[in-house]
């Protein structure tokens, strides 16, 4: 097995001693576009020997409470979110960690973006209907309840109704970024999202940054108040990890990492397959802001 293969990396992480406190800080649940419930994510994290996880559903905090209710005392559930943002005319995903679940400005902004996701979902359903693919009310009602519906839900419906064999095929034929039914997302300016996360007591991090762009734009985002960058994630090439980490550290940014798990497939994105250790988690925690109005 090649040294840099996903299976090898997973084995290496699973065999870290417990004292290193592995943390997977990028996980999705049925409250956005994941196929695992929060309780199932917690159970998988427990089985993987994780010390901490972050629930980072798209544009909603709703999955965090159920995850915390299901978690054993030995597993920390960090309040997180993945915010759909715009930066230089392009989509950027911003992770927020350690945020206050009751922060009104953040909740209002997330509700607006999630509302845009629901509008987008219905628009894509209409575009599919225009191509002769119509879902009955019963099929639409069979969807799991979610705060932020997205393309993955449509892919599952296409597979369920026999219009695609796999989710991957559904994306290739219909749902890709340049696909025939693609509808633009409602996006929040990244500087506003960073400010909201910091005001809510959290630390903002760039999720799965493209390597070349990260070298160019990390300083700009840091100057906006971003405190961290995701370094350990499935699509980051092994040879890019050390340079990206070194560049982040040169800018005074904390590093984070996670599997970006949405469900059982693919295996390289299973719960616990990517993450960080205790030292990086402590640094990330120290980078979180003091909530507005709180005593430092």
Residue 15's pLDDT is what? 41
CB 82 within 8 A of CB 93: yes
pLDDT tens profile 120-148: 888 888 899 898 999 888 888 777 777 67
Domain 22-108+187-287: CATH superfamily, name plus number = Metal-dependent hydrolases (3.20.20.140)
Q: What are φ and ψ of residue 187, in 5° steps?
A: -125, 145
Q: Do domains 22-108+187-287 and 112-175 have the same CATH topology?
A: no
Is it the case that residue 100 has pLDDT exceeding 70? yes
pLDDT (0 to 100) of residue 202: 98
**Nearest-angstrom CA–CA distance, 50 and 52:** 6
Mean pLDDT of the chain: 88
Q: Is the pLDDT of residue 110 over 90?
A: yes
Q: pLDDT band at residue 114, thresholds of 50, 70 and 90? A: confident
Q: Which CATH architecture has domain 112-175?
A: Orthogonal Bundle (1.10)
**More confident site: 3 or 106:** 106
Sketch the domain layout of the chain as residue ranges. 22-108+187-287, 112-175
Q: How confident is the model at residue 291 (pLDDT cuts 50, 70, 90)?
A: low
At 230-257, the pLDDT tens digits run: 999 999 988 899 999 999 999 999 999 9
Q: Is 230 helix (H, G, I), strand (E, B) or coil?
A: strand
Residue 232: beta bridge partners?
257
Query: Residue 13 above 50 pLDDT?
Result: no
Name the nearest CA neighbour of 274 among 202, 206, 208: 208
Identify the DSSP state of 274: S
More confident residue, 215 or 155: 155
User: Are 209 and 226 a contacting pair, CB within 8 Å?
Assistant: no
């Amino acid at each position: 097995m090649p040294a840099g293969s996903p299976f090898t990396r997973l084995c290496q992480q699973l065999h870290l001693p417990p004292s290193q406190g592995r943390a997977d800080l990028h996980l999705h649940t049925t409250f956005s576009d994941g196929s695992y419930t929060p309780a199932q994510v917690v159970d998988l994290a427990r089985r993987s020997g994780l010390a901490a996880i972050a629930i980072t559903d798209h544009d909603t905090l709703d999955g965090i409470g159920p995850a915390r209710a299901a978690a054993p005392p030995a597993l920390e559930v960090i309040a997180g979110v993945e915010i759909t943002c715009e930066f230089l005319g392009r989509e950027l995903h911003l992770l927020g960690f350690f945020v206050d679940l009751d922060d009104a400005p953040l909740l209002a902004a997330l509700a607006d973006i999630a509302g845009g996701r629901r509008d987008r979902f219905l628009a894509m359903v209409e575009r599919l209907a225009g191509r002769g693919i119509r879902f009955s009310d019963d099929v639409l009602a069979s969807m799991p309840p979610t705060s932020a519906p997205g393309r993955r839900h449509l892919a599952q419906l296409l597979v369920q109704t026999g219009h695609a064999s796999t989710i991957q095929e559904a994306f290739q034929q219909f749902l890709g970024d340049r696909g025939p039914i693609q509808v633009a997302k409602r996006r929040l300016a990244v500087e506003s999202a960073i400010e909201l996360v910091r005001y809510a007591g959290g630390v903002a991090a760039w999720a799965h940054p493209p390597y070349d762009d990260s070298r160019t734009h990390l300083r700009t985002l840091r100057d906006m108040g971003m405190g961290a960058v995701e370094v350990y994630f499935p699509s980051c090439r092994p040879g890019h990890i050390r340079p990206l980490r070194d560049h982040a550290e040169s800018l005074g940014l904390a590093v984070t990492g996670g599997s970006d798990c949405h469900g059982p497939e693919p295996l390289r994105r299973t719960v616990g397959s990517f993450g960080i250790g205790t030292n990086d988690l402590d640094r990330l925690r120290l980078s979180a802001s003091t909530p507005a109005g709180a005593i430092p």
